[in-house]
Amino acid sequence: MPLKIGITGGIGSGKTTVAKVFELLNVPVYYADAASKRLYKTDKELMQKMKAHFGDDIYNEDELNRTKLASLVFTDPQKLELLNSLVHPRTIKDALDWLQAQTAPYVIKEAALLFESGSVAEMDFVIGVYAPQHLRIKRAMDRDKTTRDEVINRMMRQIDEGLKMKLCDFVITNNEQELVLPQVLRLHEKFLSAALEPRA
Ligand code: ATP
């Protein structure tokens, strides 16, 4: 079984960007957000449960109505918890199935909600990607063509960034001063040697 590394961080911190650098080094990466989007479309059991709990019109044909779902869960913490209880077990299983097919010395799971979803428990190490808030806001606004208020609103729904970084084993700083590549290379070497060490 490969060593399992989680990558997490706040909105716009650069998780996906960092994960893509690891991919360039031939490290297999599981993107949790893309996987959950796929599961919403293809996992019949999940689709059925979603319709049972949130109404048939939560889907237009096989397409999840994200705007409607967001409006339902973001104003009601119990509905958000219900949604998480439906989705997280499916994504955890999907990630496990993916993992079992991997033969590389180590693999990466990139997930914004690594801690919140509980999947951190399956990781051997966690990397936090850190960028200062003003940069994260600017990058997310540019990428999503959205407003400052909308990005700040999304940020407020996640665990505090400082706390998240304290929970990580390693931090990659993705600001305008430090280069990402040497930081990734240092960790790559570390994970390759850790993967060769005998594990319990
Ligand atoms: P989210 O959780 O919101 O999906 P993320 O943490 O995965 O975000 P990315 O999508 O990797 O963040 O980065 C956000 C935006 O900032 C992207 O458009 C990306 O190209 C850009 N970006 C990331 N890192 C850098 C950097 N070092 N220099 C310039 N632009 C960057």
Report how far residue 87's alpha carbon sits from residue 36's, in angstroms, rounded to the nearest whole number.
8
Which residues, 6+ apart, have CB-to-CB distance to 185 below 8 Å?
25
The reported pTM is 0.90
In the predicted structure, residue 200 carries a pLDDT above the cut 80: no
Q: How far is the CA of 136 from the centre of ligand 1 (A)?
A: 8
pLDDT tens track for 88-109: 889 888 998 999 999 999 999 9
Which residues, 6+ apart, have CB-to-CB distance to 192 below 8 Å?
105, 106
pLDDT tens track for 163-184: 999 999 999 999 999 999 999 9
Assigned token pair, 58: 């939560």
- 55 annotated to bind ligand: no
Ligand 1: which of 21, 110, 130, 143 to mutate, most ligand atoms within 8 Å of CB? Answer: 143
* Residue appearing with tokens 């961080």: 9
Report how far residue 135's alpha carbon sits from residue 84's, in angstroms, rounded to the nearest whole number.
29
**Can you tell me the ipTM of this complex?**
0.96
Highest mean pLDDT among 59-68, 79-88, 112-121, 171-180: 171-180
Computed over every residue of the chain, the mean pLDDT equals 93
Report how far residue 22's alpha carbon sits from residue 8's, in angstroms, rounded to the nearest whole number.
14
Specify the CATH superfamily of domain 1-28+105-200. P-loop containing nucleotide triphosphate hydrolases (3.40.50.300)
Q: Which pLDDT value is given to residue 74?
A: 80
Q: Where are the domains of the chain?
A: 1-28+105-200, 35-101
In the predicted structure, residue 76 carries a pLDDT above the cut 70: yes
Band (pLDDT 50/70/90 cuts) for residue 75 is confident
Ligand 1: which of 16, 150, 151 to mutate, most ligand atoms within 8 Å of CB? Answer: 16
Residues with CB under 6 A from ligand 1: 9, 11-17, 112, 139-140, 143, 174, 180
